[in-house]
Amino acid sequence: MPLRLLKYGLSRTYPVSGDIPATPDLKPSYDVVIVGGGGHGLSCAHHLSKYHGISSVAVIEKGYLAGGNTARNTTTIRSNYITPEGIAFYKEAVELFENLSQELDFNVMFSQRGQLTLAHTEATLRSFHARAEMGKHLGTRTEVIDQKAVEELVPSLNMDYGGALEILGGLWHADGGTARHDAVAWGYAAQASRRGVEIHQRTEVEGFEVVGDQVRAVRTNRGRIACGQVLIATGGMNYDVAMMAGVELPIRCYPLQAMVTQPLKPWLHTLVSSVSLHTYLVQSSRGEVVIGGGSDPYQLYSTRSTLDMKEHLSEGAVHLFPFLQGVRLLRQWAGVTDMTPDYSPIMGASPLENLWLDCGWGTWGFKATPVAGKRMAQAIATGRVPDILKPFALERFETFRLLNEMGATAASH
């Protein structure tokens, strides 16, 4: 058996699929330059090359592929938002995730095990009813469930009957799930590069040549690139990159911290999130419990971790599942999130004619990776912003048409 394996491994005919091609030399110009080699940028490149026949595309990435917030999120996928615009958008994201492994011919390990959000107060329960009705109306699987149903879904949960944090009910979102974040980015990168998209790692944008209302070229540490269209999809760097083009976004940057425990036997079969405790938990396929919460309480450009936040998250996790108290933490990390005033993204056109924005992804970006790429590609290829993206335009702040998703976003994933 080992001999057969060795022969197979050494065979010249065995097609070893290289991951991502090595960074090529920069060409003097591309039809589309995508700034940011994370999930969103790569998804856009994939959709441009596969569905719009545009393969003169350069994805330029300051660091390494998918090493920013694509690598740092906690992989929650869901569509149980509050606004009809938000729900419709994230519903399409969930639907694309359902078929993503086939689309990419790459196993993204999508696990649609449902998300349970807990209410510890009557007020939270009322907001759940609003979310559930809006979700049902738009065709998502979202419902309010009572204490008994919560206990049946997650028997190990501390219901805290009679306590200050008694669980009064939950918002059960059967469409919710997780996927492997790295695989999503690599799958898009592999598909896009197979169709001629160039991925330039360690290529940092230093500025834009703006003439009138056009971006003529992107200046990088490896040279100047003339461009037809430009997309900004740089996660925590969106504010800085847009400023280089003279576009000031309504964004403030905050760190978002998360952590994982040592691996445990599979016991948690859904995503569990508590609004009041600002804590959510999900058990990964390795058995580690991923624990996350809200952003840090003040602005900062730093990926440092703090003891305060670790204590806060641990307190929430141990309250919900007291048997976790002896479990050790394995890793902790943080990412810089680009938070918008209304907790919704900024997508679509910018004040410059050929500069497109896929920004303001704060703490809700990973779940939108397929749909943001698909719809931004459509906008770039046709020059027209698709209807589903129109509510997310930058102008909404000037016209005071905000999409308030704070209640469905800030406290819990």
318 in Cβ contact with 291 (< 8 Å)? no
Q: How many other CB atoms are found less than 10 A from the CB of residue 113?
A: 15
Q: Which of 99, 221, 299, 325 binds other proteins (CB under 8 A)?
A: 299
CB-nearer residue toward other proteins: 239 or 364: 239
Show the binding pattern over residues 193-232: x = contacts other proteins (CB under 8 A), - = does not. ----------------------------------------
Report if residue 297 touches other proteins, rule: CB under 8 A. Answer: yes
In this structure, are strands 214-220 and 205-211 parallel, antiparallel, or unpaired? antiparallel
Least distance from other proteins to the Cβ atom of residue 49, Å: 33
Helix-strand-coil split of the chain, %, nearest 5: 35, 25, 40
Question: Does 248 interact with other proteins (rule: CB under 8 A)?
Answer: yes
Binding residue for other proteins, selected from 147, 306, 332, 404, defined by CB under 8 A: 306
Question: Which residue, 165 or 300, is less far from other proteins as judged by CB?
Answer: 300
Q: Where are the beta strands (DSSP E) in 162-251?
A: 169-173, 177-178, 198-200, 205-211, 214-220, 223-232
- Of the ranges 74-82, 247-255, 268-276, 321-329, which one interacts with other proteins (CB under 8 A)? 247-255
Could you say whether residue 251 binds other proteins (CB under 8 A)? yes
Residues in the chain: 413
Residue 250 binds other proteins (CB under 8 A): yes
Region binding other proteins by CB under 8 A among candidate stretches 47-55, 282-290, 362-370, 394-402: 394-402
11, 262, 285, 302: which one binds other proteins (CB under 8 A):
302
Terminal Cα distance for the chain, rounded: 47
- Structural tokens at position 64: 């390494």
Q: Which is nearer to other proteins, 206 or 308 (CB)?
A: 308
DSSP track, 310-355: HHHHHHHHHHHSGGGGGPPEEEEEEEEEEE-TTS--EEEE-SSTTE
Q: Is 239 in the site for other proteins (CB under 8 A)?
A: yes
Residue 273, beta-bridge partner list = 117, 280
Q: At what angle do helices 39-51 and 369-382 cross, to 10 degrees?
A: 50
Note the maximum CA span of the chain. 70
Nearer to other proteins, 333 or 397 (CB): 397
Minimum distance from residue 404 beta carbon to other proteins (Å): 13
How far apart CA 31 and CA 53 sit, in angstroms, is 11
Nearer residue to other proteins within complex by CB, 14 or 298 = 298
Nearer to other proteins, 132 or 251 (CB): 251
> Looking at 224, 303, 397, 407, which residue binds other proteins (CB under 8 A)?
397
Cβ atoms of 164 and 158 within 8 Å: the answer is: no
Q: Is the dihedral of CA 303, 308, 314, 319 positive or negative?
A: negative
240 touching other proteins, by CB under 8 A: yes
Least distance (Å) from other proteins to the CB of residue 69? 17
For other proteins, the closer of residues 299 and 382 by Cβ is 299
Sequence-separated contacts (24+) of 133-139 with Cβ below 8 Å: 134/82, 134/83, 134/84, 134/87, 135/79, 135/80, 135/81, 135/87, 135/173, 137/84, 138/84, 138/87, 138/88, 138/91, 139/91
- The correct pick among 9, 161, 307, 328 for binding other proteins (CB under 8 A) is 307
Where does this chain touch other proteins (CB under 8 A) — which range of 134-142, 257-265, 270-278, 396-404?
396-404
Cβ proximity to other proteins, 221 vs 302, nearer residue: 302
292 membership: H or E segment, kind and range: strand 289-295
Query: Closest approach of Cβ 393 to other proteins, in Å?
Result: 13
Which residues in this chain contact other proteins in the complex, by CB under 8 A?
A: 239-240, 243, 248-253, 297-302, 304, 306-308, 341, 397-398, 400
